[in-house]
Amino acid sequence: MDIKGKNILVLGGAGFVGSYITELLLKENANVVVYDNFSRGTLENLKNVKDNAKLKIITGDILDKEKLNNTMTNIDIVYNEVALWFSDCEANPAKCIETNFNGFFNALECAVLNNVKKVILASSASLYGTPEYLPFDEKHPMNDSSFYSTTKIAGERLLKSFNKKYNLNYIVLRYMNIYGPRQDYRRDYTGIVMKTIRSVCNGDKPIIYGSGKQTMDLTYVGDIARANILAAKSDLSTGVFNISTNKETSVNDLVSEVINRIDSSIIPEHITTENELIGRRIASYDLAKNCLGYAPQVALDEGLSKTIKWYKNKKIINVKQEGKNVFLSI
């Protein structure tokens, strides 16, 4: 499908991943509507494209069905990048269900009412739980039972139901461990890449829980965004795909890489945990490669360099604005 001139709605388009998707859609000369309640997203994430004539920004909540429905008028493709944080889902399951499930149900109903051609859902590797084999593919059982992953599983099931009843086309992209510039570094429960960068830049020892042999499939945000564009262009009526690197990085190796790039004098602190289970995550992207033409382009060393540079610039800007180092208390 040629997306030039198509009307595309990005729910959560001012967020971390959503803003990258928005930028790439505009480069494809699509007409883009960003719909965001700005609880996590920021206008700053869209600063590179905010003056683009093909971009429209609407402040709205996915739970506001009337506003959402009006926004979908003449929309061809809908991306859903809206989700409550993993930690917030565990702390407040009711809000998790309301946002991640009920909100997405609203979006699908509105999509049907407005004859949307395709919905693209951001899903998660968390639904696999502890892998039974590596690298795990899309046929791997869904073994996780967190509230967050439960809503992701339910969202995928909703799409199957809407496809069966209303012939609504969809693509599901299961993201791995995403990192990159614009990732929120202010929260205690931010991703491990940003948390490690923040600690080392502040002169603090990164904390490694257990042996540090746990592994991740670290995928650069730019590659995640490219996969979303490929999903929009695909002529598939349905599909579920891992978006990954098929490469394994341990916590120890990640921390060492960050330290070597910023301050080699810092030594990480290991905290012993009882009954540690060594988790491993490596996902196959073969299906996405064969069906969408996806392959990761940004290696970890390049991605870390870009992310560290962004964080350092961000820190300098905030120090100048606030007159003090606002990150030392984070």
Contact 132, 143 (CB under 8 A): yes
**Contacting residues for 194 by C-beta, under 8 A, at least 6 apart:** 179, 183, 184, 185, 307, 311
Q: List beta partners, residue 263.
A: none
Q: Burial-class residue 170 by CB neighbours within 10 Å (0-12, 13-18, 19+).
A: buried
At position 272, the amino acid (one-letter code) is T
Are the C-beta atoms of residues 76 and 116 closer than 8 Å to each other? yes
State how far Cα 207 lies from the chain centre: 24
Mind giving me the DSSP string for 262-319? Answer: H-TT---EEE--TT-------B--HHHHHHH-------HHHHHHHHHHHHHHHHHHHH
Closest CA to 180 of 326, 297, 52, 99: 297
- Residue 148 appears among annotated catalytic residues: yes
Return the structure tokens found at 165: 């009843």
Please give the Cα distance from 194 to 32 (Å, whole number): 29
Compute the distance between CA of residue 89 and CA of residue 102 in angstroms, rounded to an integer: 14
Q: Which residues contact 159 (CB under 8 A, 6 or more apart)?
A: 108, 119, 121, 168, 170, 172, 238
Selected catalytic residue, list 148, 170, 175, 185: 148
Separation between Cα atoms, residue 279 and residue 299, nearest integer Å: 22
Beta-carbon-side half-sphere exposure of residue 270 (alpha carbons within 13 Å): 11
List residues with catalytic annotation: 148
